Each structure stands twice: as C-alpha cells, then as structure tokens.
Amino acid sequence: MRVTQGTLEILGDEAIFEYDANSNELTKVTVHGTPVRFQQQLDEMAHWLLAQVYASFLFR
C-alpha cells in the first residue's frame, strides 16, 4: 500500500487509519511492513529525507 500527502510518501504492507469520531479528521496512520519505506522532499532544492524501517511506522 502507499500513503501520500504532498511530497510525503510511505510504502508498506498494511496501513491503519484512525479518525476523530466527532470531526472525521484523520488523526493517525500506522503502517506495518517488512520494510516500511518513508520519503519526503524537505525543500525546493530537492533535498530528500529517506528512511527504511523493519517494524511499524507511526505518522501523526
């Protein structure tokens, strides 16, 4: 599965999306996989943050 928001991209096997019951606003995404990959462009000069995790990744 793939989760994207702007330049943020998270790749993994499974994602759990949690929402606020009152506002229906997304509050948390937990991604599981072997591995979970994360990348995000940090600035307009094309500097990227890349990460690979062999467990779970929590995005808030």
Backbone conformation region of residue 42, classed left if phi is above 0, alpha if psi is from -120 to 50, else beta: alpha
Mapped onto helix, strand or coil, the DSSP state of residue 22 is: coil
In DSSP terms, which residues pair with 16 in a beta bridge? 30
pLDDT tens, position by position, 7-21: 889 999 999 999 999
- 42 DSSP 8-state letter: -
Q: Read off the pLDDT of residues 11-57 as tens digits, 9 standing for 90 and up.
A: 999 999 999 999 999 888 888 888 889 899 888 887 888 888 776 65
Q: Is 59 exposed, middle or buried (0-12, 13-18, 19+ CB in 10 A)?
A: middle
Longest alpha-carbon distance in the chain: 39
What are the residue ranges spanned by the domains of the chain?
2-59
pTM of the full structure: 0.68
**What integer pLDDT is reported at residue 25 of this predicted model?**
93
Does residue 3 carry a pLDDT above 80? yes
